[in-house]
């Protein structure tokens, strides 16, 4: 049998247990500790153990267990109040409020008992001399739960009117309740105003801003403040996720996802907390959770996903349709129990209203991706939509088809759209093809149908192009026949047979020019053949340069490459000369614009950015003037890239925005993702971080829609996380970066992106106080960077990880990381990094097994490294750069001496005997005196550092019984600042230094 704990050990065990994650394990440990407390035969030990048990029950899924320890505590108080110390008396009265709320949450506790308890609370608070504020707050909670709005408003007013005292909830919790009530009453804007101080961090506590962020979500959606809603979800869910007791707030996040078009993410949230479906210790939060589950499942069922497999209560496989029925039944059953207890229908009415909410936003991108399973399941049943304009065209064509359309009218419309080069022509010709089945058509009609069908089939369309050519020839249009064969040749080139295709295209080129010369065909057909040949030649340029994933041509010498480019340029110029005089004709304007674009591309390849910009700009202008803005998109984007390389971010931004504007509704999701990402990167380069974030967010969304969540989507999230981090939006950035990380791969994105993402994550997590997790990311990034030729990043990451491990209370691991960083800094010749790593190790050694001796050794090594670096710098030339480097090294040495002295002083135990303490103070004084001397050599710019060290030395002089020396140092500080404010203006540091020096002088006089 193990030996019983003593009281101090018990207290430490309870403190340690309270730091553990919420849940049954922590509760079970609290129950064991109560048994240990009872063995001590010390009433206060039992009181504290009961209080600890009550606290962990309250912050868990087993809230229904807290009534027993409280009843025992209250009985002990009534029988022997003298056993309670001041803290436990306060705690006992404090948890009266928990009991009131806890009873409301348990429908089996009669309403009469709750009202009686409320009176008991009021009586005991009055006896203890407490304000009515907490009592009226509790009464408000009861009335609001019952739906007694008049009583709730009276209690609300009385609550706010009563004086705040030690029993009042913290400001953050009170503001949450006040805002919640305004939101319930339909005053969302007032609610958010009340919540403002909590959201801005003015008031916080263990559960705030967690619940305020969750409660604000639907209010923000209702007000149309979607950007804030997104931010509150990302920030708030991160806080709520690890806390088992916050099922109600967790439900708010599920609800938000269901109402904002993020059903897949809502499913992920359900999957993360399977116990929430069944935990019965807090029926009220279970009602909330089941209600939003029903809301989500109804939403999925309404989208046609009733058979979708979804996470649900353990023990069986659920579809969304089945879980919708189950969750609604559970929610209404729980609500009915509350209403039966309360004698009203209010809880059921609110539950139904919550479950039956319509979506508030069709699509609110969050920046994070859904898991593959959830996303894949939704996508398999509901594929990503086509662009709106194409969808509308398809619907219109389907409607016409269903009413037995007039084939001649369909042909007329298809030819009109083709003449306009409209994206809707594709579906129009498909409608013609469907309608033509079973009809006798003339040769021309059949040729055009075959021609346009071939355009959509890639390599499989080559034979169909040839069939169209035969039909055109039979119909008496030899020019169009040549054009169709030219289109086939281009597809043949794209299939890998470039030289064979070029031979065919050249024959067609000769034939069409001869035919055109004879008047046997028109400009349009001739231009079609010329553009086909020019495209093949441009493709050959790509191949010659290894572009488009192709291998360079075997004869890819500089000379051969020049011939290839020259041929392509000649073809583009010939096309331009033919088409440019006819730009009033839309198809020929398109050919002229494409020729300009080809010339621009060739100029860009040759490094002539000015010519490239001019040509591509002409291409864009020609497309837009012809009413073909969607064809300008590619060249807008190219212009943006060229301008960015030239450092002209303004022009790059204009071009990227033009690309998005010109794309309109016709761009596929992948194109949308690419354009938004390009604009995001341009805006980020120019420091426009908020709009950059918005476009990176859109890029991530569209990449997901295109089925590229793990490729372009991951890169967009990587960029988005960086933009959010640079704005100080740490929690949002962390959520996005964590979402991106699993999809980032060395092959697709490069190991630099992985290292950068982990680096950024470490920065975010440090700001959020998650130091151990930050260290993990930095160390994993360092493991990748250790293989890079340049080792500075490796050293920086190891150093950052060491700092984080120190903050996480892991000194041994921190020392190892500092040692690793120090070795790397030494290898890089970076004295500053090496010295700082040695100093950090010294401080850690002083607090661990290394003790003061180990710390002295490390700090001494830091001094020697500084001195060695200074000596080396002194031998360099007298350039300003070398002088500045030496200056910084001297400052590092002064700082090291100062830390050496501080370390020795702080290592003196409080109970140290006079002689040992005096010896340590003498040693410390020596180091700090050296610091003063070194820092003084740096001149006026190091004044504050010098006076700080001087005062530290003065206090040591005083501790050593040398008042005159202490006074001399104080006077030196005052003298150093004579006339300072007249020269430099008011300075808080100066004022603090003067005050400290005067305090030192007063001590000497005493």
Check whether 176 has a pLDDT greater than 90.
yes
Provide the pLDDT for residue 440.
79
The residues facing 205 across adjacent strands are: 208
Provide the pLDDT for residue 375.
39
Q: Name every residue whose Cβ is closer than 8 Å to that of residue 219 and which is 6 or more positions away in sequence.
A: 183, 188, 191, 192
Banded pLDDT at 555 (limits 50, 70, 90): very low
Provide the pLDDT for residue 1005.
67
Check whether 709 has a pLDDT greater than 80.
yes
What is the number of other CB atoms lying within 10 angstroms of the CB of residue 327? 26
Check whether 798 has a pLDDT greater than 60.
yes
Range among 113-117, 468-472, 736-740 rated most confident: 736-740
Q: What percent of the chain has pLDDT over 90?
A: 71
Residue 492 to residue 499: CA distance in whole angstroms: 10
Provide the pLDDT for residue 411.
82
Average pLDDT, the chain: 89
Check whether 662 has a pLDDT greater than 50.
yes
Backbone Cα Rg of the chain: 38
Do 26 and 56 form a contact (C-beta atoms < 8 A)?
yes
Check whether 863 has a pLDDT greater than 60.
yes
Banded pLDDT at 1004 (limits 50, 70, 90): low
Range among 252-261, 558-567, 601-610 rated most confident: 252-261
Banded pLDDT at 983 (limits 50, 70, 90): low
φ and ψ of 205, to 5 deg: -160, -170
Report CA torsion sign: 504, 510, 516, 519.
negative
Q: How many CA atoms lie within 13 A of 782 on its CB side?
A: 22
Residue 195 to residue 176: CA distance in whole angstroms: 6
Choice between 664 and 48, residue whose per-residue pLDDT is larger: 48
Choice between 837 and 561, residue whose per-residue pLDDT is larger: 837
315-341 mean pLDDT = 96
Provide the pLDDT for residue 850.
66
What is the number of other CB atoms lying within 10 angstroms of the CB of residue 435? 20
Provide the pLDDT for residue 379.
41
Provide the pLDDT for residue 388.
43
Check whether 686 has a pLDDT greater than 60.
yes
Residue 360 to residue 546: CA distance in whole angstroms: 50
Check whether 243 has a pLDDT greater than 80.
yes
Of 428-432, 584-588, 852-856, 965-969, the one with minimum mean pLDDT is 428-432
- pLDDT tens-digit map of 347-392: 999 999 999 999 999 989 999 986 443 434 444 333 333 344 444 4
Provide the pLDDT for residue 372.
40
Provide the pLDDT for residue 267.
96
Residue 516 to residue 310: CA distance in whole angstroms: 65
- pLDDT tens-digit map of 463-519: 999 998 998 899 999 999 999 999 999 999 999 899 999 999 999 999 999 999 999
Q: How many CA atoms lie within 13 A of 675 on its CB side?
A: 25
Check whether 129 has a pLDDT greater than 50.
yes
Of 449-453, 852-856, 938-942, the one with minimum mean pLDDT is 449-453
- pLDDT tens-digit map of 618-660: 999 999 999 999 999 999 999 999 999 889 999 999 999 999 9
- pLDDT tens-digit map of 574-587: 999 999 999 999 99
Banded pLDDT at 878 (limits 50, 70, 90): low
Provide the pLDDT for residue 875.
55
809-820 mean pLDDT = 92
Residue 376 to residue 383: CA distance in whole angstroms: 10
Residue 252 to residue 273: CA distance in whole angstroms: 14
284-307 mean pLDDT = 96
Provide the pLDDT for residue 660.
93
Do 255 and 270 form a contact (C-beta atoms < 8 A)?
no
Residue 608 DSSP code = -
303-322 mean pLDDT = 94
Of 30-39, 415-424, 757-766, the one with minimum mean pLDDT is 415-424
Choice between 666 and 789, residue whose per-residue pLDDT is larger: 789
CA nearest to 321, candidates 299, 288, 291: 299
Provide the pLDDT for residue 619.
94
680-703 mean pLDDT = 95
Provide the pLDDT for residue 213.
97
Provide the pLDDT for residue 985.
56
């Amino acid at each position: 049998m193990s030996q019983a704990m003593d009281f101090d050990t018990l207290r430490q065990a309870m403190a340690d247990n309270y730091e553990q994650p919420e849940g049954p394990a922590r509760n079970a440990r609290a129950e064991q500790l109560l048994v240990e407390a009872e063995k001590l035969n010390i009433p206060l030990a039992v009181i504290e153990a009961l209080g600890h048990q009550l606290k962990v029950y309250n912050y868990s899924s087993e809230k229904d267990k807290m009534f027993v320890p409280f009843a025992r505590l209250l009985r002990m108080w009534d029988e022997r109040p003298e056993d309670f110390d001041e803290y436990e008396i306060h705690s006992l009265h404090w948890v009266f409020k928990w009991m009131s709320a806890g009873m409301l949450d348990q429908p089996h506790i009669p309403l009469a008992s709750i009202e009686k308890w409320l009176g008991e609370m009021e009586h005991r608070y009055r006896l203890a001399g407490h304000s009515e504020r907490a009592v009226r707050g509790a009464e408000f909670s009861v009335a609001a739960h019952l739906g007694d709005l008049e009583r709730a408003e009276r209690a609300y007013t009385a609550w706010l009117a009563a004086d705040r005292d030690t029993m009042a909830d913290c400001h953050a919790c009170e503001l949450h309740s006040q805002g919640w009530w305004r939101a319930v009453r339909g005053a969302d804007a007032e609610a958010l105003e009340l919540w403002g101080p909590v959201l801005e961090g003015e008031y916080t506590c263990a559960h705030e801003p967690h619940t305020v962020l969750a409660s604000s979500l639907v209010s923000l959606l209702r007000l149309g403040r979607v950007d804030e809603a997104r931010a509150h979800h990302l920030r708030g869910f991160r806080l709520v996720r690890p806390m088992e007791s916050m099922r109600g707030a967790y439900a708010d996040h599920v609800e938000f996802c269901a109402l904002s078009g993020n059903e897949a993410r809502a499913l992920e949230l359900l999957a993360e907390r399977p116990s929430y479906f069944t935990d019965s210790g807090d029926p009220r939060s279970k009602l909330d959770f089941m209600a939003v589950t029903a809301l989500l499942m109804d939403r999925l069922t309404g989208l046609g996903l009733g058979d979708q497999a979804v996470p649900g209560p353990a023990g069986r496989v659920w579809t969304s349709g089945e879980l919708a029925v189950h969750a609604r039944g559970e929610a209404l059953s729980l609500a009915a129990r509350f209403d039966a207890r309360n004698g009203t229908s209010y809880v059921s009415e609110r539950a139904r209203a919550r479950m039956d909410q319509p979506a508030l936003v069709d699509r609110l991108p969050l920046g994070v991706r859904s898991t593959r399973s959830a996303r894949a399941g939704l996508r398999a049943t509901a594929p990503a939509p086509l662009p709106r304009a194409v969808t509308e065209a398809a619907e219109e064509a389907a409607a016409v088809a269903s009413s037995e359309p007039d084939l001649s009218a369909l042909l007329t419309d298809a030819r009109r759209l083709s003449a306009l080069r409209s994206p809707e022509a594709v579906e129009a010709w498909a409608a013609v093809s469907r309608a033509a089945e079973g009809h006798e058509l003339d040769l021309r009609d059949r040729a055009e149908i075959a021609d346009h069908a071939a355009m959509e089939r890639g390599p499989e369309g080559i034979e169909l192009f040839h069939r169209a050519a035969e039909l055109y020839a039979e119909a008496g249009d030899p020019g169009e026949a040549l054009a169709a064969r030219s289109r086939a040749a281009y597809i043949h080139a794209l299939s890998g047979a470039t030289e064979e295709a070029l031979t065919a295209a050249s024959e067609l080129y000769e034939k069409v020019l001869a035919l055109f010369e004879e008047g046997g065909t028109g400009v349009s057909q001739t231009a079609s053949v010329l553009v086909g040949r020019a495209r093949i030649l441009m493709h050959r340029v790509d191949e010659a340069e290894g572009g488009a994933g192709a291998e360079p041509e075997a004869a890819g010498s500089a000379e051969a490459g020049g011939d290839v480019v020259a041929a392509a340029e000649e073809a583009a110029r010939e096309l331009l000369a033919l088409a440019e005089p006819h730009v009033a004709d839309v198809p020929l304007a398109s050919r002229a614009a494409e020729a300009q674009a080809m010339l621009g591309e060739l100029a860009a390849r040759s490094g002539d950015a000015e010519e490239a910009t001019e040509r591509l700009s002409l291409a864009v202008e020609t497309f837009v003037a012809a009413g073909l803005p969607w064809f300008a998109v590619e060249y807008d984007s190219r212009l943006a890239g060229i301008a960015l390389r030239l450092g002209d971010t303004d022009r790059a931004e204009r071009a990227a925005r033009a690309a998005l504007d010109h794309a309109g509704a016709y761009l596929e999701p992948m194109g949308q993702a690419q354009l938004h990402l390009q604009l995001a990167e341009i805006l980020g380069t120019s420091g426009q971080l908020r709009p950059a974030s918005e476009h990176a967010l859109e890029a991530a969304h569209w990449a997901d829609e295109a089925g590229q969540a793990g490729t372009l989507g991951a890169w967009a999230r990587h960029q988005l996380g960086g933009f959010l981090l640079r704005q100080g939006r740490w929690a949002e950035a962390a959520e996005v970066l964590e979402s991106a990380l699993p999809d980032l791969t060395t092959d697709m994105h490069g190991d630099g992106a992985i290292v950068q993402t982990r680096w950024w994550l470490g920065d975010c997590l440090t700001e959020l106080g998650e130091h151990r997790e930050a260290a993990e990311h930095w160390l994993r990034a360092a493991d990748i960077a250790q293989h890079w030729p340049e080792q500075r990043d490796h050293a920086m990451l190891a150093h950052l990880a060491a700092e984080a491990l120190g903050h996480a209370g892991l000194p041994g691991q921190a020392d190892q990381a500092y040692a690793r960083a120090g070795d790397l800094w030494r290898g890089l010749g970076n004295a500053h990094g090496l010295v700082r790593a040695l100093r950090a190790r010294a401080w850690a050694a002083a607090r661990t097994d290394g003790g003061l001796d180990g710390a002295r050794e490390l700090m001494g090594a830091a001094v020697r490294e500084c001195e060695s670096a200074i000596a080396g710098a002194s031998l360099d030339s007298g350039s300003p750069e070398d002088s500045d480097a030496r200056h910084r090294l001297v400052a590092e040495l002064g700082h090291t001496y100062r830390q050496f002295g501080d370390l020795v002083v702080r290592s003196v135990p409080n109970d140290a005997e006079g002689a040992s303490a005096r010896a340590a103070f003498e040693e410390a004084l020596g180091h700090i005196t050296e610091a003063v001397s070194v820092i003084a050599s740096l001149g006026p710019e190091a004044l504050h550092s010098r006076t700080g060290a001087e005062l530290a030395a003065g206090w040591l002089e005083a501790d050593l019984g040398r008042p005159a020396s202490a006074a001399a140092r104080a006077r030196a500080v005052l003298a150093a600042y004579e006339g300072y404010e007249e020269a430099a203006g008011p300075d808080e540091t100066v004022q603090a230094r003067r005050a400290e020096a005067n305090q030192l002088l007063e001590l000497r006089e005493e």
